[in-house]
Amino acid sequence: MNKKKMFKEAYAPPEPLHKEEFLRHAPIQPVSTTAFILSQIRYIRKWVWGLDIILLCLSLIGTFFFRWKILYELSAMMPLLALTMITESGRSEYYNMAEFEQSARFSLKSVVLARLGILGIMNVFLFLCFTLVSNVSMDISLIRTGIYLLCPYLITVFLCLWISRRFHAEEVFYLCIGVTVMVCLGVLMLHNFAIAVYGGEYFVWWLGAALLSGIGAAKECVRIIKQMEEFVWN
Amino acid sequence: MTSIRDLDGQYDKIYRYCYFKTNHRETAEDITQETFLRFWESESYQESGQALQYLYTIARNLCIDHYRRAKPSSSLEAASDTAASEMAAQQIPAAEHTPQNDAEEKVLTRIAVQAALAQLPQEERELLLLRYANEVPISVIGALMGISRFAVYRRLRQASAHFEENLKKEDIQ
């Protein structure tokens, strides 16, 4: 006989009389910020983590086993990382869960920011890995490698955030996918038909595009947060 | 455990522990509720990763307080000794009335287990309850009893061996 089961039966006390009543009036347990943020990890869809792992594995295998110059391919894949982040942040709205989450213990803003924070950290980690891995097979500086990867990512983030603010529900998801595919294809076309744009003389343009889209994305973020506050007040 | 997530389950476990200590339904339940109220009053332990240990410490201290207040001459050991023998005794009539064989066998096994437990020293019974019935981690038991993890493992092995010897005497294996 199972030891635990045996002792549970042997030590079984009589049924408590006032348990339900007591637990009904139990205070809600406080949850620390770290515990709250960590609790959001399980709500992020598995395919998001799967995509991150696949991209990381491909970049490592391609560079160290096949000696590929994967900067251009990774640059074209970066919009996918941006897409996972944007769609995950707006998921509750797509599935009409916003009101439900707002009425629960934490505000929608806290939930969205926690998830964005987790995915942001993951994306920064991947970005650093991709930069280092891509730089192995390239004769360019680490900063230039980083900007070539960051630029498509930030452009996608900016465009998707703009779409998220302007459009509603299901439309956003499909529009964001469309924009992401366009940016991916754009980067691949640059690599195939205008490889010269990756030359040193065009680096300023890349830097400018990354900065502008970065500023644009930050502004969109602020506007979206303000919009959420208005939503709560309404 | 950083906070008491499974409140329902923990309530049952603390109640089981208090009943083991006091052998009185209402008292055990009062102490269980008082334990949780005191636990919620203190925020410092709830997030420090020692919540479970703190919960059991409060419960044990409240049981000791209860006996100090109620009967200066009586002791927790005596109460839980009585509890163990009463637990075993209470089950006997049920065995006689159980119609199905497997159910009867189950009840008989439980009686034998309770009788074997009743012959153990109070500390060993408490150890077996905490580890196997309440599934308290070894580290928490160690901290609760003020002994090392190795000592907990050693005492658990001893308690299990004594229990099995007693069970053999009861003719159940």
Model confidence over A75-113: pLDDT tens digits? 888 888 888 888 776 665 555 555 455 455 566 667 777
pLDDT of A187 above 70: yes
Give me the pLDDT at residue B87, please. 56
Band (A229; pLDDT cuts 50, 70, 90):
low
Residues B69-78, mean pLDDT to the nearest whole number: 59
Residues of B in contact with A35 (CB under 8 A): 2-3, 47
Residues of A in contact with B26 (CB under 8 A): 17
- Domain's final residue, options B22, B45, B70: B70
Helices A3-10/B101-118 angle, 10° precision:
80
Whether B16 and B55 map to the same domain: the answer is yes
Residues listed for chain B? 173
Nearest to B2 among A9, A10, A35 (CB): A35
| Lowest-confidence pick of A132-146, A149-163, A193-207, B35-49 | B35-49
Whether B98 and B118 map to the same domain: the answer is yes
Residues B3-19, mean pLDDT to the nearest whole number: 82
| Lowest-confidence pick of A15-24, B11-20, B85-94, B160-169 | B85-94
ipTM higher than 0.85?
no
Whether B108 and B151 map to the same domain: the answer is yes
Residues of B in contact with A16 (CB under 8 A): 11-12, 15, 25, 28-29, 32
DSSP conformational letter for B44 = T
Cβ neighbors of A135 (< 8 A, separation 6 or more) are A71, A142, A145
Whether B94 and B65 map to the same domain: the answer is no
Band (B85; pLDDT cuts 50, 70, 90):
low
Residue A163 CA to residue A171 CA, distance in Å, equals: 9
Most confident listed range (A34-38, B100-104, B115-119): B115-119
Whether B84 and B125 map to the same domain: the answer is yes
Whether B47 and B104 map to the same domain: the answer is no
What CATH number is attached to the domain comprising B90?
Answer: 1.10.10.10
* A-chain residue closest to B23, CA distance: A13
Domain ranges in chain A?
34-233
* Amino acid occupying residue B18: C
pLDDT of B15 above 80: yes
Q: Is the Cβ of A28 closer than 8 Å to some Cβ of chain B?
A: no
pLDDT of B2 above 50: no
Residue B6 CA to residue B30 CA, distance in Å, equals: 20
Whether B104 and B161 map to the same domain: the answer is yes
Residue B139 lies in a domain: yes
Band (B108; pLDDT cuts 50, 70, 90):
confident
Give me the pLDDT at residue B68, please. 83
Residues of A in contact with B160 (CB under 8 A): 3
Whether B85 and B28 map to the same domain: the answer is no
Residue B2 lies in a domain: no
End-to-end CA distance of chain B: 35
Q: Is the separation of the CB atoms in B127 and B76 below 8 Å?
A: no
- Domain's final residue, options B70, B88, B123: B70
CB-CB under 8 Å, B128 with A13: no
Most confident listed range (A55-64, A218-227, B53-62): B53-62
Residues B17-33, mean pLDDT to the nearest whole number: 92
Per the structure, the count of domains in chain B is 2
Whether B117 and B49 map to the same domain: the answer is no
Quote the mean pLDDT of chain A. 81
Q: Is the Cβ of B54 closer than 8 Å to some Cβ of chain A?
A: no
Whether B91 and B146 map to the same domain: the answer is yes
Q: Using CA atoms in the order A175, A176, A180, A183, what is the torsion angle rounded to 10 degrees?
A: 60
Cβ neighbors of B107 (< 8 A, separation 6 or more) are B91, B94, B95, B98
Residue B1 lies in a domain: no
Residues A190-209, mean pLDDT to the nearest whole number: 87
CB-CB under 8 Å, B40 with A13: no
The total of other beta-carbon atoms located within 10 Å of residue A60's CB is: 14
Whether B29 and B99 map to the same domain: the answer is no
- Domain's final residue, options B32, B54, B70: B70
Whether B87 and B158 map to the same domain: the answer is yes
Q: What distance in Å separates residue A40's CA from the closest CA in chain B?
A: 16
Q: How many CB pairs under 8 A join A and B?
A: 80
Q: Is the Cβ of B84 closer than 8 Å to some Cβ of chain A?
A: no
Band (B107; pLDDT cuts 50, 70, 90):
confident
Residues of B in contact with A22 (CB under 8 A): 11, 33, 36
Range of the domain at B95: 76-169
CB-CB under 8 Å, A1 with B109: yes
Residue A191 CA to residue A76 CA, distance in Å, equals: 9
pLDDT of B127 above 60: yes
Residue A125 CA to residue A48 CA, distance in Å, equals: 14
* Amino acid occupying residue B160: S
